[in-house]
Each structure stands twice: as C-alpha cells, then as structure tokens.
Amino acid sequence: MKEKRVRTRYAPSPTGSMHIGNLRSALYEYLIAKSQGGDFILRIEDTDQSRLVEGAIEKIYDTLKLAGIQHDEGPDVGGDYGPYVQSQRKDLYLPYALELVEKKQAYYCFCDKERLEELRKSQGHEGVKYDRHCLSLSDEEIKANLEAKVPFVIRQKMPQEGSVTYEDAVFGTITVPCSELEDQILIKSDGFPTYNFANVIDDHLMKITHVVRGSEYVSSTPKYILLYEAFGWDVPVFVHLPLITKEGGRKMSKREGDASFMDLVEKGYLPEAIVNYVALLGWSPRDNREIFSLQELAEAFDISGISKSPSVFDMEKLNWMNREYIRKLDMDSFHAKALPWYEKAGLYETNIDLSKVSKLLIERVEYFEQIPEMVDFLIKMPEDYDLNMFAHKKMKTTVENSVGFLEESLKALEPIEDWNVQTIEQALMDTVQRLGVKNGQILWPVRTAISGKQSTPGGAFEIADLLGKEETLSRMRISLIRLKNL
RNA sequence: GGCCCAUUGGUCAAGUGGUUAAGACAUCGCCCUUUCACGGCGGUAACAGGGGUUCGAAUCCCCUAUGGGUCACCA
C-alpha cells in the first residue's frame, strides 16, 4: 500500500471569533500535517445560513495569520480541490444524497417541524429518534409529493441491528450500538447539506486523510463511518481531541465570555506564547521541554502524545509562559509593543524617558495590559498612600526612623547636578556609609517616599532617575511632611 | 435518562506490570538583593473508591462514584 500524502483540514463555521479550543484544533491539524510533510487546508463550513456572522471569515484569517498557522489551500489562497467554502459547493451534495437514496441507504422525508415536534413530545424528553414515518412511503407517494413541491429532507437510513466500531487515533476502539443512531438528515429542506453530510463529502473530495476535531464528535462518528462505507470510500483516520475547559471543568464558550485568541492578544499576550501554551494543553512531547516555536512543534508533534482527558486552561501558567517569551524579546521590539500601553497609561504626557521604562519593565511584565497599573505612580504620586509602608522589618525601617533617613537622603540628593542613576546611587550610598546604616534603611524610605507603592518596576535609583531631580525631591518633601504630621 | 469517554498533587502532565510515582506552573521557606521581579536551594502536595488477575499493579479486568460529551432541518 502506498503512503498517502497527509492532508488535514480546519473546518470552522463562520459564527464568531475563534476561542481557544478552536485555535487548538487548528493548531493540531496544522501540526499533524506538517509533522508528516503534508498539507493543511482551510475550509469554511457555512451550511447553516441562519448563523452566519458578518466578518467572521476575516477574523478566522486574521487569527490564523497571527498565530502563524498558515494553510496551504483555502478560500483565499486557492488550491486544486476548491471551492473551499461550502455554500459555494451547494449543488454538489444533492447528487451524492440521491445516490444513497438509489442505494436504499437514504430516503426522502416530508415530515414537517410540527410533526417532529409532536413526536418528541409524545415520546418523552430526550433520546427520541425519528420514527421512520417516511421510510414506508411508496414511490408513487414520493413522486406525488415531489411534484407537489412539498418541502423535503433526505435522511440517512441507519442499520437496525449490530453496532459500529472504529479506531480512534486517540481514544482507541469506539463501539456504538446501531440502536443509538438516528436516521440523520443529510440534506436540509433549504437544499443545504447538514454539517455531518457535507463533511464526509468534502473530506473525501478533498482527500483528507486525518479528520481532526473536538471530542464532541466521538459519538456521531459511527454515522460518518456508515456514510463512507455506503459510498465505498476509504475511511480517514479520526483524531478526536479532548476538550479544553475553564476552571471548574466547564467547557469554554464564547457565550460566557471566555477568552478568545484575539482577546488574549489584545491583553498583551504574544501569539507565539499562546500557541506554545495551547499546544501543551492536551499534548505532551516525549521529553520535558516546554518552550517550542511553531517550527519546533511541527518537528516534535506526534499523535501518540495527545491525551484523552480534558484539560483546564490555566491563566497562571499562560502568564508564566508569556513572560518567558517577553523576556526573550529584544529591547526594540519590546519597546514597540509597550508603547501603546504607555500611551494608554498617560506616560506620553510626561517627560519620562520611555526607553528607560522599557528596560525596567521587560524583566517584570507578564502581559502588556499590566503596564498601566505598574507605571501609574510615575504620572501621579498616590497622595494618600499608607504611611505604614515605611515600616519594613527586613529593611530595618520604621515609620519613625524613616523621617531622619529621608532628611539625610534629601540632603545628599539636593546638590546633584548631573542627575542620573550613577550619581543618585553614589549620593545615596555615600549617605549609607556616612551614617553607618544598612542600605535598605536609606533606599527603602526613598523608594517609598517617591512612589507611594509597595513595589515598583525599579528600585530607588531607577525610580528617582525616571522622575527627574525636581519631581523626586518634591515627592520626598511632601512625604516627609506627611510623616512629620503623623 | 440511553449511549460514548475520561479519572495521577490546586493546574498542566510523564508513566504503558517491578520507579524513592518525573518535570512544569502555582504555593511555602531560605539565600541573593535598593522594593518587586529574576536567579539559586529546599519544602508541602497525587495514582477517585472497592473488588479481582498476578510473585508483583498508577499501569490489565469488573463494579461503584464523580466529571465530561452526545442524543437538532447547529456545527
């Protein structure tokens, strides 16, 4: 048997933004193809015309592009198996359905929604299958209905006995009794195929070798198998992916406002970091490595590393990974990415040297949205900060002794003409020497007095340098007054 | 409810009959240190429960519990 070229596809429906689960599906599909030198195809599944969302296709393109997951074939780039949008393939499906009708594997159904509704009501709540009311229609009746233009659907005829078994690449052997299978609709009354049908047809026509999708499709896969068999087509490899849930084990959903890829990007997470993190949710490499570029993932990826159990999306770990990526950025690109956040924070209205800010921040930021809060004190000193902050056990400072230390520091700083980190450091360290105290006893009060915060992106020297001489001394004096007025 | 699937520390996870049950994030402690962060060292913490099979089970089988998925003219 000759090796077939591996082809996978990402087949989203254009109904909104790509949440994390979708992104991971696309990623794994891409990786499965690329790890074996295959092709990754993008196909738009818009057979539900009532759910179309304006601009959703563009969002998909943008997301894929940002994530670096580039497709070899798709609506925008073309390919030999187009069109890649199902609504543009609409006329292609009916003949296949009719072929099945011909083979007695499918049949016309003229039942309207009302009847189906009642059927459901009469039989209880869930687990109700279609009663095959139309299966027994005679050819004449069918013909008459067709000529009378009675709306119809085409249903797949399921076997009544036995079971269907298939090998899932991650879940192993799955067996479902045929009694569980409903005579599902293949062609809807609006002439469009259902997802289940279009999927099989398109995957076959597009020569997809690995059908990769979320595990919510595991139990409907037997229906697909039956379809492939009815047509006499090769059954592809099914790779079902475990779910990604949020804390508490609930499924992530855009309805509930769970983060989409784009949301995370907007918060200042780097696409590479998100991709890296998501790749590790549900898949693990043979070794213990955690940092992977997309290229490296494509080299290391293996279906056998995919796990069966769902995993929780952990923001903390994403934060960690994002910081790893941020710290690897060179200064210029970090600075460029930070700029919009400086603007948002109001730093543009100050004379503060932003490149110096970046140097301090690159070591401390987990994601960019944190920046405004980290630098707010530079713009405006918090006026009513808690003076108890001056008391620091390890620094050996108290609210009381800080007064004297601050006064001495002020004296040392006032004469400085060339105000920079070095001169500030020298002046302050000289003071430490002169008074014979611990470094922290001088530096902690100074830093606190000019920032009003428990922690800052830099120490006393750096913050004083950023603020400039005038502002620094002014803040120290104000804090001193507050301390004395206690 | 029927069917399908899953279950290793708070989280991600390695592990495929014999291990002191890795590693990472988080957390805690210590060190370093001008705060925070970084870095270094160390700690707490797991095989859902019960039966088997076996000389030996996290690994195989069964039952129970819990969790999830699915039962549409949605994908």
Beta bridge partners of A211: A238
What does the pLDDT read at residue A1? Answer: 45
CATH placement of domain A387-484:
1.10.10.350
How far does CA A344 lie from the centroid of its chain? 24
Closest CA to A273 of A259, A290, A298, A256: A290
CA distance A274 to A278: 6
User: Going by CATH, does the domain composed of A7-75+244-312 fall within 3.40.1160.10?
Assistant: no
Q: The pTM is what?
A: 0.93
CA distance A283 to A161: 37
Q: Note the CA–C1' distance, A258 to B45, in angstroms.
A: 29
Q: Is the pLDDT of residue A15 over 90?
A: no
Two tokens, residue A406: 């601050």
Q: Is the pLDDT of residue A156 over 80?
A: yes
State percent of chain A over pLDDT 90: 85
Closest residue (CA to C1') to nucleotide B14 in the complex? A288
State percent of chain A over pLDDT 70: 97
Residue A162 CB lies within 7 Å of the nucleic strand B: no
Q: Note the CA–C1' distance, A255 to B2, in angstroms.
A: 28
Nearest nt to the CA of A213 via C1' is B75
What does the DSSP assignment read for A424-459? HHHHHHHHHHHHT--HHHHHHHHHHHHH-SS--SS-
Residue A131 CB lies within 7 Å of the nucleic strand B: no
Residue A420 CB lies within 7 Å of the nucleic strand B: no
Cβ proximity of A408 and A442 under 8 Å: yes
Residue A475 CB lies within 7 Å of the nucleic strand B: no
Residue A192 CB lies within 7 Å of the nucleic strand B: yes
What does the pLDDT read at residue A18? Answer: 87
Residue A320 CB lies within 7 Å of the nucleic strand B: yes
Q: At a CB cut-off of 8 Å and minimum separation 6, what does A235 contact?
A: A166, A225, A228, A229
Q: What would you report as the CA-atom Rg of chain A, rounded to the nearest whole angstrom?
A: 32
**A7-75+244-312 and A87-241 share one CATH topology?**
yes
Sign of the CA dihedral with A316 first, then A318, A322, and A324 last: positive
Cβ proximity of A155 and A101 under 8 Å: no
pLDDT tens figures, A388-409: 999 999 999 999 999 999 999 9
Residue A224 CB lies within 7 Å of the nucleic strand B: no
Q: Note the CA–C1' distance, A253 to B38, in angstroms.
A: 36
CA A177 vs CA A64, A165, A208, A223, A452: distances in Å: 38, 9, 27, 11, 68
Nearest nt to the CA of A182 via C1' is B71
Q: Is the pLDDT of residue A144 over 90?
A: yes
CA distance A464 to A424: 8
Q: Note the CA–C1' distance, A169 to B2, in angstroms.
A: 26
Please tell me the class of the A87-241 domain.
alpha beta
CA A126 vs CA A110, A130, A404: distances in Å: 22, 12, 78
What does the pLDDT read at residue A127? Answer: 59
How far does CA A94 lie from the centroid of its chain? 36
Nearest nt to the CA of A216 via C1' is B69
CA distance A240 to A277: 19
Q: At a CB cut-off of 8 Å and minimum separation 6, what does A212 contact?
A: A8, A25, A28, A29, A32, A239, A240, A241
Angle at A11 between CA A8 and CA A15, to 5 degrees: 160
pLDDT tens figures, A200-239: 999 999 999 999 999 999 999 999 999 999 999 999 999 9
Closest residue (CA to C1') to nucleotide B35 in the complex? A455
| Length of chain A in terms of residues written | 486
Omega of the bond leading into A12 within 30 degrees of 0 (cis): no
For chain A, give every domain's residue range: 7-75+244-312, 87-241, 329-379, 387-484
pLDDT tens figures, A367-393: 999 999 999 999 999 988 999 999 999
Residue A11 CB lies within 7 Å of the nucleic strand B: yes
Report H helices in A7-159: 20-35, 56-67, 90-102, 113-123, 139-147
Residue A258 CB lies within 7 Å of the nucleic strand B: no
Are β-strands A106-109 and A153-156 bridged in parallel, bridged antiparallel, or unpaired? antiparallel
Report H helices in A160-269: 195-205, 221-231, 261-266
Give me the active site residues of A, please: 254
Confidence label for A317 from pLDDT (cuts 50, 70 and 90): very high
Cβ proximity of A141 and A90 under 8 Å: no
CA distance A408 to A403: 9
Nearest nt to the CA of A374 via C1' is B36
Q: Note the CA–C1' distance, A101 to B75, in angstroms.
A: 24
Q: Note the CA–C1' distance, A316 to B25, in angstroms.
A: 7
